[in-house]
Each structure stands twice: as structure tokens, then as C-alpha cells.
């Protein structure tokens, strides 16, 4: 029971952190939009121009924000960091500082306006403080701290161990795939060896059907289909392919000149089991 309570508390804490980060991201986007509108208004642009310009910009901002939030809520964020390699940035205190940094910047911008006579300077100061703090923490401080953590001896040792384990796992999986492929090939080879003896007589009869197809096509086709059905019942499509190959080899040994040979076997066997005549399907 205590274990489930701890897991539930951990999940609730992670959700709270994500929602705080969502709120700070929205606050940052609104502050950036406010600064943009404020600067354009100071430059003399009318509201009509701003509205026409903001339509396309709003779509782009929503798209980028949606992608960022999707990545955050799917776990592509600091939760993927390993505690041993990042002892500071994985702590709850640092995560809280990281997430509320836009609000801290806004508060700093508001304190900077205390005592000023002009109330119109409060909004730009808060928005500018938000942008500066967010850029400072998210773009400069956080990567620098993560890099410093990576240079710690314990972090580097664990990182090298993790890479070595990943390489060993990759090699082991590759070896298992190669072993599986070798086992499949060995099984197929044994099957071909087992089928070779019983299929010799069938291959000779099938080669004879090819040689006599011009004199009695209906009878030779019926004979060939019976042989194909026997091969299918013996070992499926692989056995049929082996019989086909053996029949062609037998025909070549008998007649030598292959210029007049027409391979009717794929057509005769079309529809037997899973055998399909590729030429008929292409046409």
C-alpha cells in the first residue's frame, strides 16, 4: 500500500511540474507577443497592420508551442536525464527554478518599475524581464549547468559505462539475429536435403512434361499440376520451388539446348497453395 502511495505522489508531482512549466511557457509567449506589439506600435504601425501581421505569426507561434508542449508531455524533457550524470538538474528544486524563471523575470521587471511615475512602463518592463530571465535560464544557464555536470568524474564514468553497456547490448542483439538467420538457413538446407531424394522422380516426370507439352498439352498440364500438388502437400511453397528448380535442371541435362524451352510450370501451378505466377500478375 505504501509503495502505491509513493508512486501516486511521484506521478502527481511530475504532473504538477509539467503544468507549472506549461503556465510559464504560455506566460513567456504572451510576454514576447506583448513586446512585439509594443515595439511595432512605438514605430508607428497602425492596429490594422498589426492584426494582419499577427494572423500568420499566431499560427506559427501556436505550431511551435504545440510541438514543444507535445515533446514535454511525452517525456522528451529533463525527465530523461539520469540522476547520476545530472545530480543538480534532476533535483526538484532546480526543476522548480527552471519552470518558474519566466515568472521570476516578470516579478523582477515589476520591481524595477517601483517608484516610477509612468504607469505605462510597467507592462513593457514586466514583459522584458520575463524574456530576459527566460533566455538567461533556458538558453544559457541550463545548458551550461548540464555541461558542467557532464564534466564531473562520476558523471563521465557513468556515461562511459552506459555507452559500453549499450554497445554490448547492440552487439548481442546483432549476434542473436545472425544466429537466428543461421538457424533458419540451416533448417532450410536440411529440408532441401530431405526433399531431394523423394523429389528426384517427380522432377524427372515434370521435365518430361515440359518436353512433351507440344504433343499433348492438356495431359502434360494435368500431370504437372498433380506433381505440384504433391510438392505443396509435402513441404509447401519451398518444396514447390525446389521441385521447379530440379525439373529445369533435369530438362537441361536431357536436352542441352535451352533456346526452344518454354517454362510452363509457373503457369500450370498457378493457384496451387500459395503459388502465384508472377508473369500473370504482372500482365
Residue 260 in any domain: the answer is: yes
Residue 13 in any domain: the answer is: yes
Q: What is the structure's pLDDT at 75?
A: 44
Residue 161 in any domain: the answer is: no
> Per residue in 85-118, is it b (16+ CB within 10 Å) or e — as a string?
bbeebbeeebbeebbbbbbbbbebbeeebeeeee
Domain count, the chain: 2
Residue 157 in any domain: the answer is: no
Q: What is the structure's pLDDT at 181?
A: 93
Q: What is the structure's pLDDT at 34?
A: 78
Instruction: Say whether both 136 and 251 belong to one domain.
Output: no
Instruction: Say whether both 192 and 145 belong to one domain.
Output: no
Q: What is the structure's pLDDT at 68?
A: 56
CA separation for the pair 112, 121 (Å, rounded): 10
* pLDDT per residue as tens digits for the range 8-46: 555 566 777 778 878 888 888 888 777 777 766 666 666
Taking the chain (283 residues) in consecutive chunks of 10 residues, what is each chunk's mean pLDDT?
A: 53 72 82 75 61 54 56 49 81 86 89 73 84 87 88 88 92 95 90 87 88 82 90 89 90 72 86 77 48
Residue 185 in any domain: the answer is: yes
Residue 248 in any domain: the answer is: yes
Instruction: Say whether both 11 and 110 belong to one domain.
Output: yes
Instruction: Say whether both 116 and 216 belong to one domain.
Output: no
Instruction: Say whether both 204 and 91 belong to one domain.
Output: no
Instruction: Say whether both 120 and 236 belong to one domain.
Output: no
Instruction: Say whether both 187 and 147 belong to one domain.
Output: no
Q: What is the structure's pLDDT at 172?
A: 95
* pLDDT per residue as tens digits for the range 191-210: 888 888 888 888 999 988 88
Instruction: From 136, 151, 166, give the residue that closes a domain.
Output: 151
Instruction: Say whether both 26 and 121 belong to one domain.
Output: yes
Q: What is the structure's pLDDT at 255?
A: 77
Instruction: Say whether both 130 and 10 belong to one domain.
Output: yes
The 3-state secondary structure of 118-173, one letter per residue: CHHHHHHHHHHHHHHHHHHHHHHHHHHHHHHHHCCHHHHHHHHHHHHHHHHHHHHH
Residue 169 in any domain: the answer is: no
Instruction: Say whether both 190 and 50 belong to one domain.
Output: no
Instruction: Say whether both 108 and 199 belong to one domain.
Output: no
Q: Is 86 helix (H, G, I), strand (E, B) or coil?
A: coil
Domain interval for residue 220? 181-278
Instruction: Say whether both 86 and 208 belong to one domain.
Output: no
Q: What is the structure's pLDDT at 180?
A: 94
Residue 239 in any domain: the answer is: yes
Instruction: From 101, 136, 151, give the residue that closes a domain.
Output: 151
CA separation for the pair 68, 58 (Å, rounded): 15
pTM for this prediction: 0.54
Amino acid at each position: 500500500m505504501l509503495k502505491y502511495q509513493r508512486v501516486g505522489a511521484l506521478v502527481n508531482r511530475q504532473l504538477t511540474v509539467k503544468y507549472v512549466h506549461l503556465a510559464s511557457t504560455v506566460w513567456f509567449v504572451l510576454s514576447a507577443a506583448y513586446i512585439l506589439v509594443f515595439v511595432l506600435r512605438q514605430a508607428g504601425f497602425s492596429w490594422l497592420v498589426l492584426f494582419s501581421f499577427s494572423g500568420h505569426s499566431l499560427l506559427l507561434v501556436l505550431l511551435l508551442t504545440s510541438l514543444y508542449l507535445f515533446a514535454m508531455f511525452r517525456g522528451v524533457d529533463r525527465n530523461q536525464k539520469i540522476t547520476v550524470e545530472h545530480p543538480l538538474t534532476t533535483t526538484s528544486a532546480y526543476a522548480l527554478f527552471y519552470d518558474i524563471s519566466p515568472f521570476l523575470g516578470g516579478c523582477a521587471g515589476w520591481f524595477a518599475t517601483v517608484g516610477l511615475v509612468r504607469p505605462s512602463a510597467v507592462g513593457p518592463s514586466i514583459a522584458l524581464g520575463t524574456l530576459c530571465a527566460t533566455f538567461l535560464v533556458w538558453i544559457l544557464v541550463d545548458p551550461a549547468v548540464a555541461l558542467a555536470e557532464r564534466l564531473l568524474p562520476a558523471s563521465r564514468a557513468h556515461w562511459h559505462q552506459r555507452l559500453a553497456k549499450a554497445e554490448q547490448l547492440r552487439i548481442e542483439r546483432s549476434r542473436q539475429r545472425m544466429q537466428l538467420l543461421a538457424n533458419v538457413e540451416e533448417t532450410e538446407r536440411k529440408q532441401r536435403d530431405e526433399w531431394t531424394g523423394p523429389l528426384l522422380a517427380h522432377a524427372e516426370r515434370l521435365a518430361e512434361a515440359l518436353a512433351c507439352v507440344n504433343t499433348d498439352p492438356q495431359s502434360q498440364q494435368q500431370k504437372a499440376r498433380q506433381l505440384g500438388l504433391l510438392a505443396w502437400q509435402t513441404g509447401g511453397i519451398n518444396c514447390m520451388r525446389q521441385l521447379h528448380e530440379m525439373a529445369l535442371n533435369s530438362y537441361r541435362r536431357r536436352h542441352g539446348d535451352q533456346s526452344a524451352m518454354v517454362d510452363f510450370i509457373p503457369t500450370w501451378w498457378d493457384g496451387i497453395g500459395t503459388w502465384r505466377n508472377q508473369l500473370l500478375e504482372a500482365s
